[in-house]
Chains A and B, each alone.
Chain A
Amino acid sequence: MWRRLTALLKSTGGPWAALVVLLLICCISNEHFRSVQNLINITRQVSYSGLIALGMTFVIAGGGIDLSVGSLLAFSGVISILGMNAVPGSETLAVAVAAVIAVALGAACGAANGALVALGKVPPFIATLGTLVIFRSLALYFGNSGLVSSENNVYREFGGAVIGGIPLPVWILLILTVLFSVILKQTRLGRHICAVGSNERVARYAAIRTGLVKFYTYLIAGTTAGISALLFGGRLNSVSSTSAGQSYELDAIAAVIIGGSSMNGGKASIWGTLAGILILGNVSNVLDMWGISVTLQGTVKGLVIIIAVMMQRKTLK
């Protein structure tokens, strides 16, 4: 019974089937959950770590891991708001400057991670553990260990923008999902990433530039952290240098794994990651609705992650 169920889930896009089941349970059990507004809220809440999870999918597909993305979000957020506040005059111009800073800084820090792994041959776990601490420390330093906020109304509007009933971050999450899925499945880069993740030695012998390929995965992950930082800051018009992005890297990794990608690399699905992030978001939300203590929610989330991986293991056999 168990085996048949898991096999079915796998063949029908497991994570999405699980998400549908979860949504059904939530909708039936709680009338507040059913509202469209709630569903949109959930999606907006997860879109920030969701964007990071999309980038993380590339890193994991390539056989690596990036622990620094949460701190990077805080660092990029802090610097971009400081930059925005320094621009005199036009508020729109200031936001444009912030956007460039956030994305460029995210990309540059991602590139630094990539260089450490590809050129420095530092194991990804160690390299990004190091930069996790560095980025957070830099965020605290430049943010005076507190909240960095702006008075920019354009930025507030940008962060809270709703287009066709759907919040801007959700749009960007969806657009990047489509874009990244195409990159992963239909381009040479995507193929090479999976080849490197599957067996780096084979990839090297097949004349694939493995270092460069790995570098790109961290570059992508850093860039998504930068984009996420920009949207995150606009939401409240501020970024907390202490708590922004805290444990986002763990949510992102969890989403990738729940989404059916292999932790060892080689096999990955961007759409699976999207399902994974939505599953995590829905679980938190429905636990709130059921009145379960916030402190206990972590336990449930942890169980969801473990069960998801166990189900994948079963179907792999």
Chain B
Amino acid sequence: MSSDLLLRTESVTKSFGGTPVLSGISLELHTGEILGLVGENGAGKSTFVKCLLGLHKPDSGSITFLGRDLLRTGPDGIAGIPQEFNLVNDLTVAENIFLGREPRRFGLLLNRELMRSESRRLLRKLDVEMDPDRMIDSLSVAEKQMVEIAKALSVNCRLLIMDEPTTVLNQNESAILFRIMKELKEAGTSIIFISHRLEEIRTICDRVAVLRDGVLVSCDPAASLDAMEIARRMVGRELKQMFPPTVPPSGEALLTVENLSSGKEVRNVSFELKPGITGLAGLAGAGRTELAETICALRRRSSGTVKLAGETLHLRKPSDAPAHGIVYLSEDRQGSGILTEFPLDKNTTLSSLRRYCHAGFIDRRAERACAESYVEKFRIKTASVETELKYLSGGNQQKVALAKCLDNHPRVFLFDEPTRGVDIGARSDIYHFISELAASGVACLLISSDLEEVIGMCSRVMVMRAGELAGTLENEHVTEEEIMYLATGVK
């Protein structure tokens, strides 16, 4: 690691509407260093990063980058790769890489040849074989990420900021990303790496900066920390056991699915859900989300039946499932879970509004009281129940999404990636909530790509592969190996 100073922030402070979000962050970053940035949602990570990218202006403090005052000169040489990619779906890979800076012939015509060859060169530098003429929407998430990195490299970036890049990747893809990060580091590019997965932070990063409530708690070499210690610093208290005791499914089957199919995504799936927690694992694209959506009539069912407590249900439209006590927590929180422009209270009652109405008129007091009870129950951090959700952190938004589903008083609860993009503290809260709910007699289905989570929470795990149920594992058979065997079909 070279000791050249690349970036120095001094007492960077920022508040929104009187609420301090960053209080005096002083940090140094050297050339060719990978700095891990961790903290619970709402700790100020994104705000800090946005200050570096010039998207927010700090209230006070200074940021020096390559010896220049960043606040005056602008963030040239710093590139950010956001969680939600900034790629135009209808353009090709090459067009996206050079978007806004297209090379031209005679100052007028696009030089496509140059765009293509440059893109190919950049991608090859990343060891990625990808046709620069492919459309973005034909790419996998991992491939899109590579395009983002190539785009950053094309502007000769010295500092790359990656916001939870691995959340959307599987283990293989993550390994490739880490290799590329190491190569970039060798080439002298510095990286700020944000992640909730503490193990990977520890292995890939040189130093780890921990933020808590807008304060830089520590910034120490990664080698001197273990994951538990990082977590402790993030939360600021001793963590209770991450996973509550498992609640094995028992008793009469509540939900019975028979020969359910939906196009090519879900094929002839049959299973039973009993009160308790059942896991549903599988690789991305195995049809887990599609299965849940088909059950809830969010997706057209081509055949099969769904029974609740032995009674066949005729679920035709999305409003039918909650009416029978079957709720689905979507994996896509922003896209289909919550209304970010709506206040918290109106989100919690979104699907159960009927209960707060007299002759069509909303009882605002009852509605607010309901929201307040959930804020307390789930320890949701918010200024008030009338705060719009866009001002809440991911973990708190997720708790609101849970409250929205729960307010239907479900008998069957389908959780789809309930802790994706959620910090450790909130994650533990959510696990305990699922466990309590299961113990109270609700049949819970936990769909998750996080094997640690599936194994920690479930004593019965179904595994899907290519739209079909590949098998079901119970008790001591619920291991990473056996799940992967079923998920990949290799044995």
Residues of A within 8 A of B (CB): 186-189, 191-192, 194-195, 198-199, 201-209, 266-267
Contact assessment for B339 and A195 in the assembled complex, using a CB-CB cutoff below 8 Å: yes
B83 to chain A, nearest CB (A): 18
Q: A207 to B357, Cβ gap below 8 A?
A: no
Whether A202 touches B319, Cβ cut-off 8 Å, given contacts A188-B353, A188-B354, A208-B351, is no
Rounded to whole angstroms, the CA-CA distance of A180 and B144 in the bound complex is: 46
B354 contacts across to A, CB distance below 8 A: 188
CA distance A208 to B330 in the complex (A): 15
Interface residues of B in 343-365 (CB under 8 A from A): 346, 350-351, 353-354, 357, 360-362, 364
- Establish whether residues A191 and B318, one from each chain, have CB atoms under 8 Å apart when the complex forms: no
Closest chain A CB from B260 CB (angstroms): 19
B382 to chain A, nearest CB (A): 19
A188 touches B339 (CB 8 A): no
Is the CB–CB distance between B361 and A199 below 8 Å?
Answer: no
Q: Which of B168-176, B269-277, B321-329, B372-380 contacts A (4 or more CB under 8 A)?
A: B321-329
B412 to chain A, nearest CB (A): 14
Across the interface, A202 reaches (CB within 8 A) one of B317, B328, B335, namely: B335
| Chain A to chain B contacts (Cβ below 8 Å), 5 pairs | A186-B362, A199-B341, A201-B335, A204-B336, A266-B342
Cβ contact within 8 Å between B361 and A195: no
Residues of B within 8 A of A266 (CB): 339, 341-342
Alpha-carbon distance between A317 and B353 when the two chains are bound, in angstroms: 31
Using A195-B339, A266-B341, A267-B341 as known contacts, say yes or no to A204 and B361 having CB atoms under 8 A apart.
Answer: no
Beyond the given pairs A186-B361, A209-B317, A266-B341, 5 more chain A to chain B contacts, judged by CB atoms under 8 angstroms and listed by A's residue number, are: A187-B360, A187-B362, A204-B298, A204-B318, A206-B404
Name the distance in Å between B318's Cβ and chain A's nearest Cβ. 5
Instruction: Give chain A residues whose Cβ lies under 8 Å from the Cβ of B395.
Output: none
A206, A209, A267: which contacts B350 (Cβ < 8 A)? A206
Q: Give A206 to B342 CA distance when docked, in angstroms.
A: 14
B337 sits at the interface (CB 8 A): yes
Residue B149 is within 8 A (CB to CB) of chain A in the complex:
no
Interface of chain B residues 242 through 277 with chain A (CB within 8 A): none
A134 CA to B364 CA, complexed, in Å: 43
Q: Using known A-B contacts A186-B361, A188-B354, A266-B341, determine if residue A207 contacts B318 with beta carbons closer than 8 Å.
A: yes
- Contact at B319–A208, with CB atoms within 8 Å? yes
Of residues 402 through 420 on chain B, the ones whose CB sits less than 8 Å from some CB of chain A are 404, 408
- Distance A205 CA – B329 CA, assembled complex (angstroms): 9
How far does the Cβ of B313 sit from chain A's closest Cβ, in whole Å? 14
Which residues of the other chain, A, contact B357 by a CB distance below 8 angstroms? 187-188
Given contacts A188-B354, A188-B360, A189-B360, contact A207 B339 (CB under 8 A): no
- B7 contacts the other chain (Cβ, under 8 Å)? no
The answer to whether B341 and A202 have CB atoms under 8 Å apart is no
> Which residues of B from 301 to 339 have beta carbons under 8 Å from A?
317-319, 321-323, 328, 330, 335-339
A208 and B342 in contact, given A187-B360, A191-B362, A202-B336 (Cβ under 8 angstroms): no
Q: What separation, in Å, do the CA atoms of A267 and B342 have in the docked complex? A: 9
- Asked whether B319 lies within 8 Å of A205 as measured between CB atoms, the reply is no
> What's the nearest-Cβ distance from chain A to residue B336, in Å?
4
- A188-B360, A191-B346, A191-B353 are contacts. A205–B339 as well, Cβ < 8 Å? no
Question: Which residue in chain A gives the minimum CB-CB distance to B362?
Answer: A186
Residues of B within 8 A of A195 (CB): 339, 342, 346, 350
State in angstroms the CA–CA spacing of A198 and B341 once bound together. 7
Cα A205 to Cα B346 in complex, Å, equals 15
Specify which chain A residues have a CB less than 8 angstroms from the CB of B404 in the assembled complex.
Answer: 206
